[in-house]
Structure 1
Amino acid sequence: MPANTLSGIVTKAGVMAKTVTMTVERRITHPKLLKTYLRHKKYLVHDPESTLSVGDRIVAQSCRPLSARKRYTLLNRVGKESTGQFRREKAEAMMSAVDREKIRIEQLVKDEVAKKSGGGGESSDGGGERRK
């Protein structure tokens, strides 16, 4: 009996040990409208060396059940998906204004911490401000 193979894009990696989440997309034609649309399905794939990262295009082969949901193992890595950055930007665009503001504030705090730890010239500026 030949093993099933699926090809898709890694959408989550590094969260689970030796496991990545692969998203497979397929095109379906509506029977009445004859319009094509996309359907997505996620699969858990066993990655023994934990070498995959988000955006990698892979081929997975079915195997015996390795866990409750993990039924596929990595067959080979085809390449890097160029739309990974596009997907991140799209996700950020769909965020609420509150979440975007939180991310912006966190970035400002990180920049301030980097400035204070990196330069000693600010302490002399602080003294100048007190004299005024």
Structure 2
Amino acid sequence: MGATTLTGIVTKAGVMAKTVTMTVAKVKTHPKLLKTYVRHNKYLVHDPDNSLTIGEHIRAQACRPLSARKRFVVVERLGFQNAPTHDEPESTQALHRAKTEAAMSAAQREWIKIEQRVKNESKARA
């Protein structure tokens, strides 16, 4: 029997180092009413590159315990929930970036701004 694999959406990123929170939705049917309903579970997932952003679909696989609650590691990135259209990919990416930056600390946001300034200055010189 293989290792457990889960597919879900990143709901929190940039708050913990090399860790994201993934939400997995399960659709269940009530035994008596026969009505379907959705249940959600949250899992902490190890992201070694710190490259995931909020809203991305990922596939995670069970591994040895990495911390008190972290038991999964990212295996594959499946893209964003609402894939950007050809008309406005930059605005969609900017929205995802803004959501991720909102979850960051002030020091991390300042560091990203400094890195962006350095990139812009190096492009202007070239």
TM-score normalised to structure 2 length? 0.65
Residue 82 of structure 1: CA displacement?
A: 1.6
SS in 2 for 1:49: coil
The 5-angstrom pairing of residues 50-129 of structure 1 reads 50-82=50-82
* AA at the equivalent of 2:35: K
| More helix per residue | 1
1:73-132: CA deviation from partner (whole Å, max 9, x where unpaired): 00000011129x8xx9xxxxxxxxxxxxxxxxxxxxxxxxxxxxxxxxxxxxxxxxxxxx
Unmatched runs of 5 consecutive residues or more in structure 2: 84-91, 96-126
Aligned residues: 85
Residue 12 of structure 1: CA displacement?
A: 0.1
Unmatched runs of 5 consecutive residues or more in structure 1: 89-132
Show the counterpart of 1:46: 46
CA distance in 2, matches of 1:3, 1:48: 19
CA distance in 2, matches of 1:76, 1:2: 16
Structure with the greater relative contact order (CA < 8 A, sep ≥ 6): 1 or 2?
2
Show the counterpart of 1:31: 31
* Identity within the alignment, %: 65
Q: How much is the aligned-residue C-alpha RMSD, in angstroms?
A: 1.7
CA distance in 2, matches of 1:22, 1:82: 16
The structure that has the greater radius of gyration is 1
CA distance in 2, matches of 1:46, 1:53: 13
